[in-house]
Amino acid sequence: MITKLKITTFVAAGALALGAFAATPASAADSLTVVSWGGAYTKSQVEAYHKPFTKKTGIEILSENYSGGLAEVKAQVEAGSVKWDVVDVELSDAIRGCDEGLLEPIDPSILPPAPDGTPAEKDFIDGAITDCAVASIVWSTIYAYDKKQFKDGGPKTMADFFDLKKFPGKRGMRKTPKANLEMALAADGVPPSEVYDVLSTDAGIDRAFAKLDTIKDSVVWWEAGAQPPQLLADGEVAMTTAYNGRIFNAIAAEGKAFEIVWDAQVFDMDLFVIVKGAPNKKAALDFIAFATDTQRLADQAEWISYGPARKSSEPLIGKHAEAGIEMGPHMPTAADNFKTAIQNDFEFWADRQDELNNRFNSWLAN
């Protein structure tokens, strides 16, 4: 099994350079491959974007899942055998992929204006349109707990997450320094607006790791977005960081008694990009323009609690399509939730992620 896996990797690596293995993709103009993160999130996209798009244009959409990162995009581009058209990526990957020439530039003029005529570039929130990418949602890393485990009142602030005395029990955290360092500093009393200033100094990094040290022995590390709701449901952890949409989905679709704590949420964007040399570039551009219009973004928010990247979509959001819950208050961007929000600083992470990943891994192992 393992040998087989290894060989597959090698074959992949070999094919990459050879280009000989690369089967030419059948570039049927009437289909489009859209790659996203799977689970409840992909479902929201299929319902809000894919189905209406196919209905309107007749172009079939093949939905594929991946777990983030640019590795596969890079492999496809370097092998000259691009099979993916549109990919849903995080902001840091959208910028980095664009810098490294892995993505097609997207001309923002293809994006339709808001219903009231506001041009797209003004309608999208800050940073949502970049050279190669158009954002669809705002998502957030928050922490959540199971109300059943805290009958006398649960945690309220980020500091509570790091307070093992007041709220004993295991903690779930994503196995990466990103968002964890920000949360640690916020818990240590750094105001949200100053988090990255502090993190930019060596003393600040030490301070964040020192704060993480206080709960290190109680942490269960997760990697895939589907894990934290499971950890909570199994009672493996008392509280866990998670993507807000996944927790909401567990509440809405599975009736779990989870509660989200929005204090010091770290929010980020997901964007659509087109892989360089995509077989159906024209259709891909059409799809992105279609999917990120005002109505479509509002529609998606009725399937999962991620905020739309257009300001004009906000008033159009209604109730959850299946559970009938009013979606507005569950959005990361809702006023009550947004007070202490920290925006993920792409520049900071692009510069420091290799170094901080090393430090984080070294910290974990010792």
Partner 1 sequence: MSEQLTTVDGRPLKQALASAERTKRIRAVLLVMPLFIFIFVSFLYPIALMLYRSVENPLIAQHMPKTLATLEDWDGESIPDEETFAALAQDLVKARESREIGKVATRLNFETPGLRSVITGSARSAGRWEPPYKEKFLDRRKEWGELETWATIKRLGPTITTVNYLAAVDRQYNVDGEVVMVGEDYRIYVDLFMRTLWMSVVVTVSCLILGFPIAYMLASLPLRHSNLLMILVLLPFWTSLLVRTTSWIVLLQTQGVLNDLMVWSGIIDDAQRIQLIFNAQGTVIAMTQILLPFMVLPLYSVMKTIPPSYLRAAESLGAHRFLAFWRIYVPNTLPGVGAGCLLVFILAIGYYITPALVGGQDGQMISNMIAFHMQKSLNWGLAAALGGILLVGVIILYWLYNKLVGIDRLKLG
CA-to-CA separations, 103 to 88, 107, 222, 254, 263, in angstroms, rounded: 12, 13, 29, 38, 35
CA distance 103 to 107: 13
Among 74, 114, 150, 215, binds partner 1 (CB under 8 A): 74
Residues 264-303, interacting with partner 1 (CB under 8 A): none
Q: What is the distance between the terminal CA atoms of the chain, rounded to a whole angstrom? A: 31
Q: Which is nearer to partner 1, 182 or 299 (CB)?
A: 182
Residues 6 or more apart whose Cβ sits within 8 Å of residue 17: 78, 79
Among 34, 79, 98, 298, binds partner 1 (CB under 8 A): 98
Give the nearest distance from C-beta 322 to partner 1 in angstroms: 29
Give the nearest distance from C-beta 31 to partner 1 in angstroms: 27
Pattern 341-360, partner 1, x by CB under 8 A: ------x--xxxxxx-xxx-
Residues 6 or more apart whose Cβ sits within 8 Å of residue 18: 79
Q: Which is nearer to partner 1, 31 or 353 (CB)?
A: 353
Q: Is 164 in the site for partner 1 (CB under 8 A)?
A: no
Q: Is 364 in the site for partner 1 (CB under 8 A)?
A: yes
Q: Which is nearer to partner 1, 6 or 282 (CB)?
A: 6
Residues 6 or more apart whose Cβ sits within 8 Å of residue 239: 143, 144, 145, 146, 155, 161, 167, 169, 171, 172, 232, 261
Burial class (CB within 10 angstroms; exposed 0-12, middle 13-18, buried 19+) of 33:
buried
Q: Is 115 in the site for partner 1 (CB under 8 A)?
A: no
Tokens of 36: 């996203």
CA distance 157 to 262: 8
Among 13, 28, 29, 210, binds partner 1 (CB under 8 A): 13
Q: Report how far Cα 288 is from the mean position of its chain's Cα atoms.
A: 18
**Per-residue DSSP letter, 112:** P
Q: Is 362 in the site for partner 1 (CB under 8 A)?
A: yes
Q: Which is nearer to partner 1, 43 or 170 (CB)?
A: 170
Among 24, 234, 255, 336, binds partner 1 (CB under 8 A): 234
Strand partners, 33: 62
Tell me how many residues contact partner 1 (CB under 8 A).
46
Q: Is 193 in the site for partner 1 (CB under 8 A)?
A: no
- Contact set with partner 1 (CB under 8 A): 1-3, 5-7, 10-11, 13-14, 17-18, 69-71, 74, 96, 98-101, 170, 175, 209, 219-221, 234-236, 347, 350-355, 357-359, 361-366
